[in-house]
Amino acid sequence: MPGFSTDAILLRKIEYGDHDFIISFLTRSHGKISVIAKNAKKSVRRFTGALDLFSVNQIHCVYPKKKKDGMTILFQADLEDGLGNIRYDVLKTTYASFWVELIHFWLEEEKPQLTLYDLLFFSLDALNTGSISKEVIHLLFMIRFMALSGFEPQIESCGRCKTPLDEIEQNRVMFDFREGRIICLNCAKGESKHGRMVSKGTLKQLFWINQNEVHRVDRIKFSGLAIKEGEALLESFIPFHLGREFKSLQFLKRLRQNNEF
Ligand SMILES: [Zn+2]
């Protein structure tokens, strides 16, 4: 039976009939795929893990006999890392849910995206182990996701007069959502309908975590203000650009309001 094997992160799982699941994975070799896992609720031998959300598995898939007739079949899944700590923490679960929802929405099927796979794996692993603060990982994931999906925010210099960020006189600039870039206050002249004010320090830190090796990200210390501003900026910019609200992001905002996370 022709097919393939690859590492895969579970993005979404939907019950299908009494015994089966339809599962979406972000795979190392094939990008996002949707497969049917037949008898997955019963077969402990073929599916060693619980096929939980965010889990990392080595999967073996086979193509249906007549390709146009059916979905790719998940033949076997061996759990590599359940990333179980994420599920015991409601805030971590919500961050991870947003990341996978974003990927599931944005990615087309079967377009390999190794850099995105590595980014998601790194972010989930850091969230699971707690090696880096969850707020910083969240910022790192969002800004790099935007860069990989072609919407990298332009934050090095004013989009109009090209003054580098460091040389802009004011401490704050406007980030314009439509243009995806910063505009200094001399150029913005009060136009802020599609923008948000952000301090230069926050932008410099976002720029740093977007440009440097991901493993060095714990070297940078974000202030509480930079985290709040960075979250507010990216959590507005992403839905604006993709033209869609995300349930998990709305839930995250409610959690913060109610629990003061
Ligand atoms: Zn300017």
pTM of the predicted structure, to 2 decimals:
0.93
Q: What is the reported pLDDT for 68? A: 67
Q: What is the pLDDT of residue 221?
A: 87
Question: The domain spanning residue 64 has which CATH number?
Answer: 2.40.50.140
Range of the domain at 41: 3-82
Write down the pLDDT at residue 32: 97
Number of domains forming the structure of the chain: 2
Do 123 and 250 belong to one domain?
Answer: yes
Report the separation in Å between the CA atom of 230 and the middle of ligand 1, taken as the mean of its atom positions.
21
Q: Do 69 and 124 have their domain in common?
A: no
- Output the CA 182–ligand 1 centroid distance in Å: 8
Say yes or no: 53 and 177 in one domain: no
Cα separations in angstroms, 89 against 93, 125, 144, 194, 238 = 6, 14, 24, 35, 24
Mean pLDDT of 250-254: 95
Give the model confidence (pLDDT) of 199-240 as tens digits: 999 999 999 999 988 888 888 889 999 999 999 999 999 999
In the reported structure, the alpha carbon of residue 72 is separated from the centroid of ligand 1 by a whole-number distance in angstroms of 52
Check residues 107 and 194 and name the one with the higher pLDDT: 107
Centroid of ligand 1 to alpha carbon of 161 (angstroms): 4
Could you tell me the distance, in angstroms and rounded to a whole number, from the CA of residue 173 to the centre of ligand 1?
9
99 within some domain: no
Ligand 1: centre distance to CA 47 (Å): 57
Distance from the alpha carbon of residue 183 to the mean position of ligand 1, in angstroms: 5
Q: How far, in Å, from the CA of 162 to the mean position of ligand 1? A: 6
Instruction: Specify whether 50 is located in the same domain as 134.
Output: no
- Distance, CA 227 to ligand 1 centroid (Å)? 25
Q: Are residues 7 and 68 in the same domain?
A: yes
**Residue 186 Cα to ligand 1 middle (Å):** 6
- Rounded to the nearest whole angstrom, what is the distance from the C-alpha of residue 19 to the centroid of ligand 1? 60
Q: 165 CA distance to ligand 1 centroid (A)?
A: 10
Distance 180 CA to ligand 1 centre (A): 14
Q: Are residues 114 and 216 in the same domain?
A: yes
Question: What residues are neighbours of ligand 1 (ion), with CB under 5 Å?
Answer: 158, 160-161, 184, 187
Tell how far the Cα of 199 is from the centroid of ligand 1, in angstroms. 15
Tens digits of residue pLDDT in 57-115: 999 999 988 766 689 999 999 999 999 999 999 999 999 999 999 999 999 999 999 99
Count Cα atoms within 13 angstroms, Cβ side, for 125: 12
Residues 117 and 237 both lie in one domain: yes
Q: Are residues 247 and 120 in the same domain?
A: yes
Q: Using 50, 70 and 90 to split pLDDT, how confident is the model at 54?
A: very high
Judgement on whether residues 39 and 155 belong to the same structural domain of the protein: no
Q: How many whole angstroms from 190 Cα to the centroid of ligand 1?
A: 12
